[in-house]
Every structure is written in C-alpha cells, then in structure tokens.
Amino acid sequence: MTETTQTHPITPRAGLRKLAIRGLFAGLLAGTASAFAFGSSAEAQNIAGLSANTPVTWSADFGQLQDRQNRVVLSGNVIIEQGDLRLTAERTTIAYTDAGTLRIQRIDATGGVIVTRGSERARGDAAVYDFNRRVIVMSGGVALNRGTDRLDGGRLTIDLNTGVSSVDGAGSRPADGQNAGRVSGTFAVPESD
C-alpha cells in the first residue's frame, strides 16, 4: 500500500489568515461574555465598568479549531470569564466567516448553560447569540434569578439593540405547581418599618 501526502503551498496571505484564526481561537471570546449580560445594550458593551479590553479567560476539557467549517468548538466543562461575568456550559460552538477579515456570526452553547454576573444568574439548556441580529436566546427550562427574585419560563430573549429582555413559556418544563407553557416568578417584597 502506498501512502500519499498532499501538500498545499502556504502563501503569505494564507499564513496570516491561519495565524489570525488561531488568534481568534485563543481570544475571540471577548465579545461572548459581554454579550450575555442582562440589561441594556450600553451595559452589554460596558458592563459594570468592563470594557472590551478587559481580559477574557476561558477553559475547557477540549478545544478544536475546525478551520474548513469556520468554527471553533470547546467542550467539557467550558468556562468563559470576563471580569465578574461568567458563562459555563458543556459545549460551545463559535461560527465565524473569513472573507478577508474574521467575523463571529454565532455562538451556540449547550448543556446546562449558566450565565452569572454579581447577584444575577440565568440558566437554560441552551443559548444562541446571533451577532448579526444582536439577539441572545436562552431556551429549555430557563430560570432568571436576581438576588432573591426569580423568573421561570421556556425561553429568554435578550435584544441587545433595544435593551429589552423577555421571557415566554414556549416549550417550558413546568415549575413547581405550574403548568407547562407558562411564565412564573417570585418577587421579594421589602418589609415595611
């Protein structure tokens, strides 16, 4: 049996693009963490004093650059942090385009997705961040907690253009004592003096 090896010349442009993609793999998550913020689009870009230059750290059991498919896959205990913002998931896929410049198109996180910032926490089975539409959708048993307040539903949609977040019961699992397909919550009432 004969072994065949194919070689492809690496042009300066192709070599630079490969370096850029590898750099993307190491640091592209800077926008990820800030995108999952609760609140207005201004807060999403400058969360509690964080700027886009705030370092992002990430770790996973496994990372894979799928260059031909224009995506990066992180799996196994994925943790992404920027300042006090933290995203955890079992798997994260980052899709990008490479038409001269690299642009993130979409981030999909699955498997027990949890996003925390200070006393705020959002949990769901999956999350999708569409960079073009600037919309984040968390789905599957969504729970949004802020301090002692809690909101449950099937889907949480965060529109970073308008700063409006909404929860609906679409596809929800029933919360304690509730029917599926409904939004439910608990709000703390301050004690009066």
Q: What is the pLDDT of residue 26?
A: 36
* Dihedral (CA of 105, 22, 30, 152) sign: positive
Looking at domain 12-186, which CATH architecture does it have? Sandwich (2.60)
pLDDT in tens, the chain (193 residues): 433 333 333 344 444 444 444 444 433 333 333 333 333 333 333 333 344 456 667 789 999 989 899 998 999 999 977 777 788 999 999 888 888 777 778 889 999 999 888 888 889 999 988 878 888 899 998 998 888 888 899 998 888 778 788 888 876 565 555 566 788 888 888 887 6
Cβ-contact 53, 63 below 8 angstroms: no
Domain residue spans of the chain: 12-186
Q: Are strands 120-130 and 62-66 parallel, antiparallel or unpaired?
A: unpaired
Which of these, 56, 120, 123, lies nearest to 89 by C-alpha position?
A: 123
Task: Give pLDDT, residue 10.
Answer: 34
Strand (E) positions, 60-162? 62-66, 71-82, 85-98, 102-117, 120-130, 135-146, 149-159
Angstrom distance (rounded) from CA 167 to CA 184: 10
